[in-house]
Amino acid sequence: MKIFNFGSLNVDRVYRVQDFVRAGETILAENLSYFPGGKGLNQTIALARAGAEVYHVGCIGRDGGILKDCLVENGVPLAYLRKLDADGGHTALQVSDSGQNAIIVYSGTNHMLSEDFVDEVMKNVEPGDFVLMQNEINLVPYIMQKAKEAKAQVVLNPSPITKTLAAYPLELVDLFIVNEIEGEALTGETEPESILAAFRKKYPGARVVLTLGSEGSCYQDDAQYCRQQIYKNTTVDTTGAGDTFCGYLLTCLTRGDSIKVALDTASAASSIAVSRQGAAPSIPRMSEVEEFLRERKR
């Protein structure tokens, strides 16, 4: 079973700061680092390091060398990666001393996917394959429709929230992976149980994973509800932790694990990711996650 991830690729310019800059304020950064990132790329790397057969579909720009290298180093095929003669996706990313982040994304080539390109890739999608999307690229509604026509499982991590998101054909989604803010934006509810109930009502048949930050995560489908706590760890940089969770969760589900095992493994993987710097570079391999779980459950 293959996973096609139609996703962004960003060069993260990470500024380490004591506290985030406020309106009208000028601050000095303690340090500047460049990391491969982007919600799409991070999720592809998490899928690859977890052991999934993943294909990344996206566009890099003139400065996208480190993004391409990152895919190569992680064994991800480059068949669906396009290089365009334009500015690529990049971020100005503040990471504070407490490990939290504040991100400005410049979309660049992430918003230059064409329908022809999508159609070409879809020829290789087989029934039962997974098509994963976040919300950092253009044409998300089109990709959802084409994925459904190809009889693929449609997975949406609607991050970041945009004004147009509510108008997407969300009834086509088979699996939502959302955080509380996204859940609230899509349902108008604020409490986890009410968010899950509203998803069931609005999108019957869809499975929903709701992440709750330090409160863990929960899952709901027609037949079952499940809850998972986080694994506490030292927080160095939370960037990419949610993407790590998504990639691991999906890998576990595609290899036939129960939702309980999938949430547990995803939770352990994201806990390791927050203890390291950077987005894609912080994502652990499955062997490390298994070792971490053995230690924690001893």
Which are the catalytic amino acids? 243
Q: How many residues bind ligand RIB (CB under 6 A)?
A: 15
Q: Cα(271)–Cα(247) distance, rounded to whole angstroms?
A: 13
Work out whether 37 is an interface residue with ligand RIB (CB under 6 A). Answer: yes
Among 7, 38, 64, 88, binds ligand RIB (CB under 6 A): 38
Work out whether 281 is an interface residue with ligand RIB (CB under 6 A). Answer: no
Q: Cα(64)–Cα(106) distance, rounded to whole angstroms?
A: 13
Work out whether 12 is an interface residue with ligand RIB (CB under 6 A). Answer: yes
Q: Which residue's Cβ has the minimum distance to ligand RIB? A: 37
Strand locations in the chain (E): 3-6, 10-16, 31-37, 54-60, 81-83, 89-95, 101-106, 130-133, 153-156, 175-179, 207-211, 217-220, 225-228
| Nearer residue to ligand RIB within complex by CB, 38 or 58 | 38
| Nearer residue to ligand RIB within complex by CB, 217 or 220 | 217
Among 39, 49, 146, 276, binds ligand RIB (CB under 6 A): 39
CA distances 40 to 46, 84, 279, 295, Å, are 10, 17, 11, 30
| Nearer residue to ligand RIB within complex by CB, 103 or 286 | 103
Dihedral angle sign, alpha carbons of residues 97, 101, 106, 110? positive
Exposed / middle / buried, residue 28 (Cβ in 10 Å: 0-12, 13-18, 19+):
exposed
Among 84, 102, 103, 161, binds ligand RIB (CB under 6 A): 103
Closest CA to 259 of 181, 190, 177: 177
Q: Cα(178)–Cα(212) distance, rounded to whole angstroms?
A: 9
CB of 177 to ligand RIB, least distance (A): 12
Work out whether 182 is an interface residue with ligand RIB (CB under 6 A). Answer: no
Work out whether 129 is an interface residue with ligand RIB (CB under 6 A). Answer: no
| Nearer residue to ligand RIB within complex by CB, 10 or 270 | 10
Give contact residues for ligand RIB (rule: CB under 6 A).
10, 12, 37-39, 42, 91, 103, 105, 136, 239-240, 242-243, 279
